[in-house]
Amino acid sequence: MAEPTEEGFLPTFMKHVVAISLLDAKKGLEGDDLSCSDYDPRHILFSSFVVSVQKIWFLITAGHILKNIDTRIQSGRRIVKARIIDSFQDKQDFTSLPFDFDGAPKVPIYSSVDGVDYGAILLEPFYVRALFAGGTRAFDEKEYEDCPDEADKYFLLGFPTEARNIDHKYDESGGNVGIDIGCPLIPIQRIDKPPSALQSGERRFYAKVPVIEGNRCAENGTMTDIAGMSGGPIIAVKKNRSGIIRYWIVAVQSGWLRSERVLAACYLEPFINALAKAVERLKP
């Protein structure tokens, strides 16, 4: 039996990823007589994936994304709408779930010097039930523990800016956003010696990224840039001695040097271990 191709893996991997869509606006503006320009609404969309740590679900993304959003809020913005976009795995149409982004507990860890870049958002049971009903599944222990040092294949999954078509229709309530986004599964080639511009104090995962042809959302069908895929998962695939093909979540995509077509990602295991310890301390 032939091994699965990228297209064959995609439905399986897609059930683990979601996009977060936010609309922010200026603080301190209320009232029906305010125009859309007063609000100055802006749209933010970022990649994430779902991980179960001791049966508690977290959205995992890059820490710099959460830090940047917090900086926007501290500078005088506010989140007026937030949604989790899911259900990519069954069809091209997707669903979105209203989300209390402001109220969700978050863990952003980011250091550009050390190369540490992790973000976690705790999902309350309501969101877990809704996502599960829609077909979303969390990476669990069997998919992030005992990951092989070397895999047969590595993939990057996420929501690149080049594969987005976003239509903004703003109104006094903050506006509506029509979103058409692609989530390509990109085969990547792991490398041991990254460009000096990507090297950091922390041990990271590095890989070469090909140009992707035939993407339905990208201009002329060619995607040359993975900007916007920060926070997406790096997935390892390996066939064991019994001939069974397994996959693991290896790292969180964080850095990108387009001139060399090399990405950097933070290994997930240390962050998962830290979350597990935190969950253990919080248990009754």
> Is the predicted pLDDT of residue 33 greater than 60, yes or no?
no
Q: What is the pLDDT of residues 37-54, one digit of tens each?
A: 666 788 899 999 999 999
Query: Distance between CA atoms of 221 and 62, rounded to whole angstroms?
Result: 27
1, part of any domain: no
Query: Which pLDDT score is estimated for 2?
Result: 45
> Is the predicted pLDDT of residue 171 greater than 60, yes or no?
no
Q: What is the pLDDT of residues 59-94, one digit of tens each?
A: 999 999 999 999 999 999 999 889 999 866 544 456
Query: Distance between CA atoms of 269 and 248, rounded to whole angstroms?
Result: 11
Q: Which distant-in-sequence residues (6+ apart) come within 8 Å of 253 by Cβ?
A: 47, 62, 156, 158, 226, 229, 230, 231, 232, 233, 234, 263, 264, 265
The number of folded domains in the chain is 1
Confidence of residue 211 (pLDDT cuts 50, 70, 90): confident
AA identity, residue 102: D
For residues 17-37, average pLDDT: 73
Domain that holds residue 244: 6-282
120, part of any domain: yes
Query: Counting Cβ atoms within 10 Å, is residue 184 exposed (0-12), middle (13-18) or buried (19+)?
Result: buried
Query: Distance between CA atoms of 217 and 161, rounded to whole angstroms?
Result: 10
Rg over alpha carbons for the chain, rounded to the nearest Å, is: 19
Give exposure, 196-213, as e/b (b: 16+ Cβ within 10 Å): eebebeeebbbbebeebe
Query: Which pLDDT score is estimated for 243?
Result: 84
156: how many CB neighbours lie within 10 A of its CB?
23
CATH code for the domain of 119: 2.40.10.10
Write down the residue that tokens 């049966």 correspond to.
55
Query: Which pLDDT score is estimated for 18?
Result: 94
Among the ranges given (62-71, 177-186, 220-229, 258-267), the one the predictor scored with the smallest mean pLDDT:
177-186
**Quick one: tokens of 71?**
């900086």
Q: What is the pLDDT of residues 132-164, one digit of tens each?
A: 998 999 999 999 988 888 999 999 999 998 887
Query: Which pLDDT score is estimated for 210?
Result: 92
137, part of any domain: yes
